[in-house]
Structure 1
Amino acid sequence: MHSGPVYAIADVHGCDEELRALLQQLPLHRDALVVFLGDYIDRGPNSKGVVDTVLEVMDYCQVVCLLGNHELMLREFLDGSDARRVARFIYNGGGATLASYSNEDGHFTIPPEHLEFYQKLAYYHVEGDYCFVHAGIPVDVSKIDLALHGEDMVWMRRRAGMQEPNFDKIVVHGHTPVPEVEIRPRRINLDTSCVYGHRLTAMEVRTQQMWHVDRRAAPTPLYLRDSRESRREAFRFTGRVPVVVQHEGRVYRFATINYSEIGMLIKPVDNLPSGSLRAGAHVTGLIGTDAESTPFRGVVLRVDEQARHALKIIPEPQKQSTP
């Protein structure tokens, strides 16, 4: 086990101001270890700033940086080979990250040192009696196979009533937002919902001493803006992504022509009876497929003669229970 204090911080989600204030509270020194549990980016106002801050911390103490599901989605977005996963990143707050790296013309550039940071993030870290991970572990540490369990370790969700783990190590994780730190005999959840308006938490795991910083500003949706010459408010991505639309008890299958966080242009996959969806219709649906889908609410803005439907997405209110 590390000889100095071991601090853990989860799910910063772009809240750089709060992270800096929290780090200033901690008695950090060369022998201290800070373990970041992933989800540095997305949704919050300054994802780029968070990574800058984490890199700065490495200059005056020891740091371990773990992978979260949002960094995994960013990797998939940058790879760009799967349109569905590109869309999954955008519809899970990724536009806020791109905006933090963008200029006034809507062009984003991620510095090489940040790209290296995202690529080197580890799935988990063991220190003595503790296993640090973003979301959880499905098996004992000795049985982890990243090819089999990697996705679960960044995506698995704690639900009310779930049986508590009884692994050899105490699991220290984030990912599942809670209003207060959860301390169980074999599990500690440190995601105290900062980006949803609550607070950011650090814990020294052996003493369980905690430090908190409340969210400084009300949550507001951010996304990658289009160029100054465009009339569009948000940058639109192109690609064919499955979309399921539900309206008045009926289900319709579409695919995107282009999309942004605030709207999409879609075309029916099947023959759509004339007048099935008219301008002004309020709809719900799913973007993507199966486990990679993202729910949405929206309103049909217009339908053209080629059956292309323009939808405006209605933002969901920010809630602490949102993943």
Structure 2
Amino acid sequence: MSGPGHPPVPGGQTNPWRRLLWKRFFGSPLLGRRLFGRGGEGVALAPLDPDAGPVYAVGDIHGCRSLLAGLEEVIRADAAAFPGRPRIVLLGDMIDRGPDVAGLIDDILRPLPWGERLAIRGNHEAMMLAFLADPQRRGDWLTHGGYETLRSYGLALDPAGLARLSGRRLGQMLAAHLPESHLAWLRALPHGFFLPMAETTWVLAHAGQDPARVLADQPPDVLIWGQPPGQTSGRTEGHGQGTPPRRLVHGHVIRDEVDLSAQDIGVDTGAWRTGRLSALRLVPGHPAQLLVQAGAAVPSALGPPIVSTGISAQ
């Protein structure tokens, strides 16, 4: 479906260059529809084994490559006190706003010798995918941090420059600058994980969860964008006898402090604005613990972020 939240799908009167973009960046129209459908079929969150080692849920990185490198060293030292192999879960919005998205993705794609690094899809990754599918209609992504992302690949493209380019030329430029390995990573990002423990099932998603639906059938729009205005995920009892209640760990909304007592624990401390990148450690039998790496803030090259009506593009 076209319209807000839905990129046009190839077919009908779609221009040939747009068909080429879909084939280049998504492989098929069907994949594009699955990526961008909002409010459609649910997705299943993948389980993490609580006995395999500590889990560290990291807030929105937004291209702050050096902050993640520093935080991973903090995590490495912390994880030495626990058995098993540590797993780092990046809670989405790895891209946009910050200075080195391309270098950050290079780092993420390299194996972690002492642990495992996992990443999930945030709203900024979804917006980039929508832009790649139809750049001229989805150019607003550039003002939400996409300018900085493309610049990190050596492509300076602002909204005014976008308007001057033909569709064919734009497609050629994007294909020449964006590595296929980065695009494959972007397309394959899952929507979230869950970590079952004796007292709590921790849900790790970018923005939210639907408490009325099981973890095998969560709406992608809620996971990526959060609950509609005025709603929260609230306390969610387990589905089924003996299943512990859920608690959400998420990013998406910048906060000054992380409240470990909250039902929904937000760990986005605004790395690109504040220079602070935070992670929450989750280990069975231990209270949740906050770890923080501090550095320099990185102001956006295009000024303050633009917030859309109803849904925040944090």
Deviation of 1:12 (Å): 0.1
- Hey, what's the Cα distance between the residues in 1 that align with 2:307 and 2:203? 34
Find the partner of 1:165 among 234, 239, 247.
234
Secondary structure of the equivalent of 1:26? Answer: helix
- Structure (1/2) with the larger helix percentage: 2
| Residue of structure 1 equivalent to 2:274 | 197
State the superposition RMSD in angstroms.
3.3
Secondary structure of the equivalent of 1:142? Answer: coil
- The structure with the largest alpha-carbon Rg is 1
1:90 aligned to 2:142? yes
- Hey, what's the Cα distance between the residues in 2 that align with 1:158 and 1:32? 34
One-letter amino acid of the structure 2 residue matched with residue 130 of structure 1: W
1:9 aligned to 2:76? no
1:55 aligned to 2:109? yes
Find the partner of 1:127 among 167, 192, 195.
195
Kindly tell me: are residues 140 and 132 of structure 1, through their superposed partners in 2, closer, same or farther at Cα, counting changes over 3 Å?
farther
Deviation of 1:141 (Å): 5.3
| Residue of structure 2 equivalent to 1:99 | 151
Residue segments in structure 1 that go unaligned for 5+ positions in a row: 224-260, 262-285, 295-321
One-letter amino acid of the structure 1 residue matched with residue 222 of structure 2: D
| Residue of structure 1 equivalent to 2:20 | none
| Residue of structure 2 equivalent to 1:175 | 252
| Residue of structure 2 equivalent to 1:19 | 68
TM-score when normalising by structure 2: 0.64
| Residue of structure 2 equivalent to 1:41 | 95
| Residue of structure 2 equivalent to 1:208 | 288
1:63-78 mapped onto 2 (5 Å cutoff): 63-78=117-132
| Residue of structure 1 equivalent to 2:220 | 150
1:270-285 mapped onto 2 (5 Å cutoff): none
Kindly tell me: are residues 177 and 36 of structure 1, through their superposed partners in 2, closer, same or farther at Cα, counting changes over 3 Å?
same
- Hey, what's the Cα distance between the residues in 2 that align with 1:2 and 1:174? 21
Would you say the 8 A contact 2:209–2:233 is kept in 1? no
Secondary structure of the equivalent of 1:45? Answer: coil
Q: How many residues align?
A: 229
- Structure with greater contact order relative to length (CA < 8 Å, sep ≥ 6): 2
Would you say the 8 A contact 1:47–1:97 is kept in 2? yes
| Residue of structure 2 equivalent to 1:138 | 210
TM-score when normalising by structure 1: 0.62
1:115 aligned to 2:198? no
Runs of 4+ in 1 over 6 A off after TM superposition: none
Residue segments in structure 2 that go unaligned for 5+ positions in a row: 1-48, 162-172, 237-244
Q: Deviations over 1:156-175 (max 9, x none)?
A: 2697x865611132111010
Secondary structure of the equivalent of 2:214? Answer: helix
Would you say the 8 A contact 1:197–1:219 is kept in 2? no
Kindly tell me: are residues 63 and 2 of structure 1, through their superposed partners in 2, closer, same or farther at Cα, counting changes over 3 Å?
farther
Kindly tell me: are residues 164 and 104 of structure 1, through their superposed partners in 2, closer, same or farther at Cα, counting changes over 3 Å?
closer
Would you say the 8 A contact 1:199–1:213 is kept in 2? yes
Find the partner of 1:188 among 253, 260, 265.
265
- Hey, what's the Cα distance between the residues in 1 that align with 2:150 and 2:253? 24
- Hey, what's the Cα distance between the residues in 2 that align with 1:211 and 1:191? 12
- Hey, what's the Cα distance between the residues in 2 that align with 1:104 and 1:134? 28
- Hey, what's the Cα distance between the residues in 1 that align with 2:191 and 2:212? 14
- Hey, what's the Cα distance between the residues in 2 that align with 1:79 and 1:138? 28
Kindly tell me: are residues 65 and 49 of structure 1, through their superposed partners in 2, closer, same or farther at Cα, counting changes over 3 Å?
same
Secondary structure of the equivalent of 2:145? Answer: helix
